[in-house]
Amino acid sequence: GDSVTQMEGPVTLSEEAFLTINCTYTATGYPSLFWYVQYPGEGLQLLLKATKADDKGSNKGFEATYRKETTSFHLEKGSVQVSDSAVYFCALVTGGGNKLTFGTGTQLKVEL
Amino acid sequence: GAGVSQSPSNKVTEKGKDVELRCDPISGHTALYWYRQSLGQGLEFLIYFQGNSAPDKSGLPSDRFSAERTGGSVSTLTIQRTQQEDSAVYLCASSPWSGPGTGELFFGEGSRLTVL
Protein backbone atom coordinates (compact mmCIF):
# COMPACT_ATOMS: atom_id res chain seq x y z
CA GLY A 1 0.00 0.00 0.00
CA ASP A 2 0.86 3.67 -0.10
CA SER A 3 3.03 5.15 2.64
CA VAL A 4 4.88 8.33 3.55
CA THR A 5 8.02 8.56 5.67
CA GLN A 6 9.10 11.80 7.29
CA MET A 7 12.09 12.69 9.39
CA GLU A 8 11.38 12.57 13.08
CA GLY A 9 11.22 15.74 15.08
CA PRO A 10 11.32 17.95 16.85
CA VAL A 11 13.53 20.06 14.65
CA THR A 12 14.80 23.13 16.50
CA LEU A 13 16.29 26.01 14.53
CA SER A 14 17.32 29.57 15.15
CA GLU A 15 15.46 32.30 13.31
CA GLU A 16 16.76 32.88 9.75
CA ALA A 17 18.24 29.37 9.56
CA PHE A 18 17.73 27.13 6.52
CA LEU A 19 15.09 24.44 6.86
CA THR A 20 14.86 21.02 5.27
CA ILE A 21 12.29 18.43 6.28
CA ASN A 22 12.77 15.16 4.45
CA CYS A 23 9.86 13.20 3.00
CA THR A 24 9.95 10.02 0.95
CA TYR A 25 7.07 7.94 -0.28
CA THR A 26 6.01 4.64 -1.73
CA ALA A 27 2.95 4.48 -3.94
CA THR A 28 1.32 1.95 -6.21
CA GLY A 29 0.27 4.55 -8.73
CA TYR A 30 1.42 7.99 -9.77
CA PRO A 31 0.76 10.15 -6.73
CA SER A 32 0.12 13.81 -6.19
CA LEU A 33 2.18 15.11 -3.26
CA PHE A 34 1.32 17.62 -0.56
CA TRP A 35 2.65 19.39 2.49
CA TYR A 36 0.17 20.32 5.18
CA VAL A 37 0.93 22.49 8.21
CA GLN A 38 -0.71 22.54 11.63
CA TYR A 39 -0.09 25.69 13.65
CA PRO A 40 -0.69 25.51 17.41
CA GLY A 41 -4.39 25.47 18.20
CA GLU A 42 -5.45 25.30 14.56
CA GLY A 43 -6.57 22.68 12.06
CA LEU A 44 -4.31 21.32 9.35
CA GLN A 45 -4.09 23.46 6.26
CA LEU A 46 -2.62 22.86 2.85
CA LEU A 47 0.78 24.51 2.46
CA LEU A 48 1.77 23.45 -1.04
CA LYS A 49 1.38 20.67 -3.57
CA ALA A 50 2.85 19.16 -6.72
CA THR A 51 1.01 16.87 -9.09
CA LYS A 52 3.68 15.58 -11.44
CA ALA A 53 7.38 14.80 -11.56
CA ASP A 54 9.74 17.79 -11.42
CA ASP A 55 6.92 20.14 -10.41
CA LYS A 56 7.84 22.56 -7.65
CA GLY A 57 5.18 23.60 -5.17
CA SER A 58 5.74 26.84 -3.28
CA ASN A 59 3.94 29.01 -0.76
CA LYS A 60 4.90 31.42 2.05
CA GLY A 61 8.59 31.01 1.23
CA PHE A 62 8.41 27.21 1.47
CA GLU A 63 9.05 25.02 -1.53
CA ALA A 64 9.24 21.33 -2.39
CA THR A 65 10.11 19.56 -5.64
CA TYR A 66 8.51 16.30 -6.76
CA ARG A 67 11.42 13.93 -7.41
CA LYS A 68 10.16 10.73 -8.96
CA GLU A 69 13.60 9.17 -9.31
CA THR A 70 14.21 9.40 -5.57
CA THR A 71 10.52 9.20 -4.55
CA SER A 72 11.01 12.30 -2.45
CA PHE A 73 9.28 15.61 -1.74
CA HIS A 74 11.53 17.43 0.72
CA LEU A 75 10.27 20.69 2.21
CA GLU A 76 12.68 23.63 2.27
CA LYS A 77 12.72 27.24 3.37
CA GLY A 78 15.66 29.57 3.11
CA SER A 79 15.08 31.60 6.26
CA VAL A 80 12.67 30.43 8.93
CA GLN A 81 10.79 32.69 11.31
CA VAL A 82 9.40 32.08 14.78
CA SER A 83 5.94 32.14 13.22
CA ASP A 84 6.84 29.03 11.20
CA SER A 85 6.82 26.94 14.38
CA ALA A 86 4.27 24.22 13.67
CA VAL A 87 3.88 20.56 12.78
CA TYR A 88 4.44 19.75 9.10
CA PHE A 89 2.84 16.73 7.42
CA CYS A 90 3.83 15.24 4.10
CA ALA A 91 1.01 13.46 2.26
CA LEU A 92 0.09 11.82 -1.02
CA VAL A 93 -2.98 10.81 -2.94
CA THR A 94 -3.21 8.28 -5.74
CA GLY A 95 -5.92 7.04 -8.03
CA GLY A 96 -9.27 8.69 -8.48
CA GLY A 97 -9.97 9.85 -4.99
CA ASN A 98 -8.96 12.37 -2.39
CA LYS A 99 -8.05 9.96 0.38
CA LEU A 100 -4.78 11.38 1.61
CA THR A 101 -2.07 9.18 3.10
CA PHE A 102 -0.11 11.16 5.67
CA GLY A 103 3.30 10.87 7.26
CA THR A 104 3.69 11.05 11.03
CA GLY A 105 4.42 14.77 11.05
CA THR A 106 7.55 16.73 11.95
CA GLN A 107 7.43 19.36 14.64
CA LEU A 108 9.44 22.50 13.90
CA LYS A 109 10.44 24.89 16.66
CA VAL A 110 12.06 28.17 15.68
CA GLU A 111 13.77 30.19 18.40
CA LEU A 112 15.00 33.77 18.47
CA GLY B 1 -19.12 29.51 10.40
CA ALA B 2 -16.34 29.94 7.91
CA GLY B 3 -14.45 26.74 8.68
CA VAL B 4 -15.01 23.13 9.65
CA SER B 5 -16.43 22.93 13.13
CA GLN B 6 -16.04 19.93 15.42
CA SER B 7 -17.57 19.18 18.79
CA PRO B 8 -16.80 18.47 21.49
CA SER B 9 -13.27 19.78 21.38
CA ASN B 10 -12.41 17.60 24.35
CA LYS B 11 -14.11 14.46 25.64
CA VAL B 12 -13.11 12.32 28.58
CA THR B 13 -15.04 9.10 29.00
CA GLU B 14 -14.87 5.83 30.86
CA LYS B 15 -13.99 2.58 29.18
CA GLY B 16 -17.10 0.88 27.85
CA LYS B 17 -19.15 4.04 27.30
CA ASP B 18 -20.37 5.20 23.89
CA VAL B 19 -19.29 8.55 22.46
CA GLU B 20 -20.49 10.70 19.58
CA LEU B 21 -18.30 13.19 17.78
CA ARG B 22 -19.82 15.78 15.52
CA CYS B 23 -18.51 17.52 12.42
CA ASP B 24 -20.02 20.53 10.68
CA PRO B 25 -18.31 20.93 7.29
CA ILE B 26 -17.92 24.10 5.29
CA SER B 27 -21.22 24.94 3.64
CA GLY B 28 -21.45 23.51 0.14
CA HIS B 29 -18.62 21.02 0.56
CA THR B 30 -19.81 17.70 -0.79
CA ALA B 31 -16.94 15.52 0.43
CA LEU B 32 -16.28 14.83 4.12
CA TYR B 33 -13.49 12.80 5.72
CA TRP B 34 -12.74 11.48 9.19
CA TYR B 35 -9.15 10.87 10.28
CA ARG B 36 -7.63 9.80 13.57
CA GLN B 37 -4.39 11.15 14.98
CA SER B 38 -2.82 9.08 17.72
CA LEU B 39 0.26 10.04 19.71
CA GLY B 40 3.35 9.38 17.65
CA GLN B 41 1.34 8.23 14.66
CA GLY B 42 0.40 9.93 11.45
CA LEU B 43 -3.11 10.73 10.46
CA GLU B 44 -5.05 7.52 9.94
CA PHE B 45 -7.93 7.59 7.44
CA LEU B 46 -11.24 6.33 8.81
CA ILE B 47 -14.07 7.07 6.38
CA TYR B 48 -15.02 9.23 3.41
CA PHE B 49 -18.47 10.60 2.54
CA GLN B 50 -19.62 11.92 -0.79
CA GLY B 51 -22.95 13.53 -0.03
CA ASN B 52 -24.67 11.19 2.39
CA SER B 53 -23.04 8.05 1.02
CA ALA B 54 -19.83 6.49 2.30
CA PRO B 55 -18.06 4.94 -0.70
CA ASP B 56 -14.96 4.27 1.38
CA LYS B 57 -15.17 3.16 4.98
CA SER B 58 -12.11 0.97 4.80
CA GLY B 59 -10.30 2.72 7.64
CA LEU B 60 -12.85 2.10 10.39
CA PRO B 61 -10.84 0.00 12.85
CA SER B 62 -13.66 -2.21 14.13
CA ASP B 63 -17.42 -2.62 14.13
CA ARG B 64 -17.52 -0.46 17.26
CA PHE B 65 -16.95 2.50 14.95
CA SER B 66 -19.70 3.90 12.74
CA ALA B 67 -20.42 7.19 11.03
CA GLU B 68 -23.28 8.84 9.26
CA ARG B 69 -23.91 12.02 7.38
CA THR B 70 -27.28 13.63 6.97
CA GLY B 71 -28.53 16.30 4.57
CA GLY B 72 -25.17 16.28 2.86
CA SER B 73 -23.90 18.31 5.76
CA VAL B 74 -23.35 17.34 9.40
CA SER B 75 -21.58 14.08 10.17
CA THR B 76 -21.46 12.08 13.38
CA LEU B 77 -18.78 9.54 14.27
CA THR B 78 -19.94 7.10 16.92
CA ILE B 79 -17.66 4.86 18.96
CA GLN B 80 -19.42 2.18 20.98
CA ARG B 81 -17.98 0.48 24.04
CA THR B 82 -14.90 2.67 24.00
CA GLN B 83 -11.50 1.17 24.75
CA GLN B 84 -8.33 2.89 25.93
CA GLU B 85 -6.73 2.41 22.52
CA ASP B 86 -9.47 4.63 21.07
CA SER B 87 -7.86 7.63 22.78
CA ALA B 88 -6.78 9.99 20.01
CA VAL B 89 -7.63 13.22 18.26
CA TYR B 90 -10.40 12.69 15.73
CA LEU B 91 -10.15 15.07 12.80
CA CYS B 92 -12.81 15.94 10.30
CA ALA B 93 -12.11 17.51 6.93
CA SER B 94 -14.26 18.64 4.04
CA SER B 95 -13.64 19.39 0.41
CA PRO B 96 -15.71 21.08 -2.27
CA TRP B 97 -14.73 18.60 -4.93
CA SER B 98 -15.17 14.92 -5.45
CA GLY B 99 -12.75 14.98 -8.32
CA PRO B 100 -9.51 13.06 -8.23
CA GLY B 101 -6.23 14.11 -6.78
CA THR B 102 -6.95 17.70 -5.83
CA GLY B 103 -5.90 16.89 -2.28
CA GLU B 104 -7.06 20.14 -0.74
CA LEU B 105 -8.92 19.24 2.39
CA PHE B 106 -10.09 21.76 4.96
CA PHE B 107 -9.63 20.43 8.46
CA GLY B 108 -11.34 21.17 11.73
CA GLU B 109 -9.39 21.52 14.96
CA GLY B 110 -10.32 18.04 16.06
CA SER B 111 -12.02 16.32 18.96
CA ARG B 112 -9.60 14.99 21.57
CA LEU B 113 -10.95 11.77 23.05
CA THR B 114 -9.51 10.33 26.25
CA VAL B 115 -10.75 6.95 27.44
CA LEU B 116 -9.95 6.22 31.08
Helix, strand, or coil here: A5? strand
Task: Render pLDDT for B47-70 as a digit per residue (tens, 0 to 9).
Answer: 999 899 998 899 999 999 999 999
pLDDT at B103 over 90: no
Whole-number pLDDT of residue A41: 86
For residues B84 and B76, what is the distance between their CA atoms, to the nearest angstrom?
20
For A91: left if phi > 0, alpha if psi spans -120 to 50, otherwise beta; the answer is beta
pLDDT at B114 over 90: yes
Whole-number pLDDT of residue B102: 66
Confidence of residue A38 (pLDDT cuts 50, 70, 90): very high
Whole-number pLDDT of residue B52: 92
Mean pLDDT over all residues of chain A?
93
For A70: left if phi > 0, alpha if psi spans -120 to 50, otherwise beta; the answer is alpha
Q: Nearest Cβ partner of B104 from A46, A97, A101?
A: A46
For A98: left if phi > 0, alpha if psi spans -120 to 50, otherwise beta; the answer is alpha
For A52: left if phi > 0, alpha if psi spans -120 to 50, otherwise beta; the answer is beta
Q: What is the mean pLDDT of residues A64-92?
A: 96
Task: Render pLDDT for B4-47 as a digit per residue (tens, 0 to 9).
Answer: 999 999 999 999 999 999 999 999 898 999 999 988 777 899 99
Confidence of residue A68 (pLDDT cuts 50, 70, 90): very high
pLDDT at A26 over 70: yes
Contact (CB, 8 A) for B84 and B16: no
Which candidate, A46, A49, A86, A99, places its Cα nearest to that of B35? Answer: A99
Looking at the complex, report in whole angstroms how far the Cα of residue A34 sits from the nearest Cα belonging to chain B: 7
Q: Which residues 15-74 of A are in CB contact (within 8 Å) with B?
A: 32, 34, 41-46, 49, 51
Whole-number pLDDT of residue B26: 93
Contacts of residues B27-31 at CB distance under 8 Å and 24 or more positions apart, as own/partner, are B27/B73, B28/B96, B29/B94, B29/B95, B29/B96, B29/B106, B30/B72, B30/B95, B30/B96, B30/B97, B30/B98, B31/A98, B31/B94, B31/B95, B31/B96, B31/B97, B31/B98
pLDDT at B100 over 90: no
Beta bridge partner(s), residue A24: A5, A72
For residues B111 and B72, what is the distance between their CA atoms, to the nearest angstrom?
21
pLDDT at B101 over 70: no
Chain B residues in contact with chain A using a Cβ-Cβ cutoff of 8 Å: 3-4, 31, 33, 35, 40-43, 45, 48, 56, 91, 93, 95, 97-110
Looking at the complex, report in whole angstroms how far the Cα of residue B59 sits from the nearest Cα belonging to chain A: 10
